[in-house]
Amino acid sequence: MSNNLQIPDKKYFSISEVSKLCDLKTHTLRFWEKEFKELTPVTRKGGRRSYQREDIILINKIKALLQDDGLTIAGAKKNMLTQSKHSTSKDFVTDEIVGDLEKILAELN
């Protein structure tokens, strides 16, 4: 997973913003929503998707499993199921925050 992903400080992101942030096509994101039950962006008026930070972190995890680790969708689902027994999406957010804080501390020193 790309550890140096810089997610802007805002609450909601459109599918096109997430597409650019994660370097994925919008149709890939919509497909993954159908395949990975953990990926559930908020749906607004007119069916517009609104993604949150946790969704973006999850998307990057899925991307890493499929592209970097070379897993199939079934393999990625199994991997995520195994990991969800050991951690929650909050752990991913916590890891990201800790990483950001470590970078800030290093810059201050």
The reported pLDDT for the residue numbered 23 is: 95
- 5-62 pLDDT, tens digit each: 788 889 999 999 999 999 999 999 999 999 999 999 998 888 899 999 999 999 999 9
The reported pLDDT for the residue numbered 4 is: 65
- Report if pTM > 0.85: no
**Residue 2 scores a pLDDT above 70:** no
Q: Which residue has the tokens 């597409």?
A: 19
Buried b / exposed e along 51-81 (16+ C-beta atoms within 10 A): bbbbbbbbbbbbbebbeeeebeeeebbeebe
